[in-house]
Amino acid sequence: MKICVIGSGAIGITHIETIARHEGFTLAGIADPAPGAGETAARHGTSGHADHKSLIAAEKPDGAIIAAPNALHLPIGRDFLEAGIPVLMEKPVANTVAEGMELAEISARTRTPVLVGHHRRHHRAIRKAKELIAEGTLGRLAKVSITYDLMKPAAYFDPEWRRTPGVGGPLLINAIHEIDLLRFTVGEIAEVMALSSSGIRGLAVEDTAAVIFRFECGALATLALSDTACGPWSWDLGSGDAPRFPKHDIVSHMFSGTEAGLTLPRLELWRHQGSREWTTRMAPEAVTYDHVDPFVAQLEHFAGVIAGQEAPVIDAREGSLNLAVMQAIAASIESGKLSRVADHVG
């Protein structure tokens, strides 16, 4: 199966290397106008293109992975869908809910599928967590606590789009993963309250933020994240998903219910060793699961989507609902008030 990649940044390289090491797939060109992209293509034994349109004409790929800056997702995605080429669109699906829904409409009209690159949906530990919550192992879910600490180097912000409001910043780049994880494992988010700060880097985008979520089921969740904070407490540094990040034995997600607690990425189930009260000792129990590289699992699922054998586990419309939560967060930060997600669905 011939798969091309649009964009050769960090996540683009992850997809390129995943295709290269997986049997049954051929890297059908890389498109990126950035200096050095041609060298990346040559190193991986494929052709380099300055733009995606020339790649479409020359390579005629079976599918495309779009890992370009967020603002380009809609125009690039449109061209591939109009050409009848299925798309794996990196998160977020677009810049806004309106753009994401437009992609969904194009996908429906052309009968060409879009799979959104929320790779955590393919992680077996997260799928197991979803299963445990759904079957009531934790009892009634009360709260979720998420910490996301990363220290991004100054060079990370050299591309202007990463410093541009509405496009860059850890909320849109990183927290979108957490929003999807929450919606996938717990359910729909009804309201949010948020604060952000750019006090350390001083850029036009935030470097630190805190968000409170209220789910339709009544549970609450908190997310504290920063891309200028020293600490290993994040999914990226604890899961081992991406080889470029060193793996640490940490907990970044804690789900607390009336019967038990659950951690990620360790996937430990915590229960009282007797009566359920705060003076009774609790102990962890490791939950077993078969680990599969989520990027490989996502690629295999994309192959099934291309072949028409599987429906996208998250399509453009579903991905747009994550952006509705993000827009509610932005509205809360601006107004200092609670923001309803339904007001941003459109």
pLDDT at site 37: 84
- Pick from 71, 114, 90: which is nearest to 10 by CA? 90
Residues 184 and 227 in one domain: yes
What is the spatial distance between Cα 180 and Cα 73, in angstroms, rounded to a whole number? 18
Give percent of the chain above pLDDT 90. Answer: 92
- In whole numbers, what is the pLDDT of the chain averaged over residues? 96
Cα-based distances in Å from 318 to 26, 92, 93, 166, 173: 29, 11, 9, 20, 17
Query: Considering the entire predicted model, what is its pTM?
Result: 0.94
Domain of residue 156, residue span: 123-291+325-335
The string of pLDDT tens digits covering residues 131-153 is 999 999 999 999 999 999 999 99
Task: Calculate mean pLDDT across residues 18-30.
Answer: 95
H or E stretch at 3: strand 2-6
Burial of 126 (0-12, 13-18, 19+ CB in 10 A): buried
Residue 346 lies in a domain: no
Residues 75 and 57 in one domain: yes
Residues 47 and 14 in one domain: yes
Residues 70 and 34 in one domain: yes
- Cβ atoms of 320 and 97 within 8 Å: the answer is yes
Task: Calculate mean pLDDT across residues 150-163.
Answer: 93
Residue 341 lies in a domain: no
Residue 203 lies in a domain: yes
Residues 240 and 262 in one domain: yes
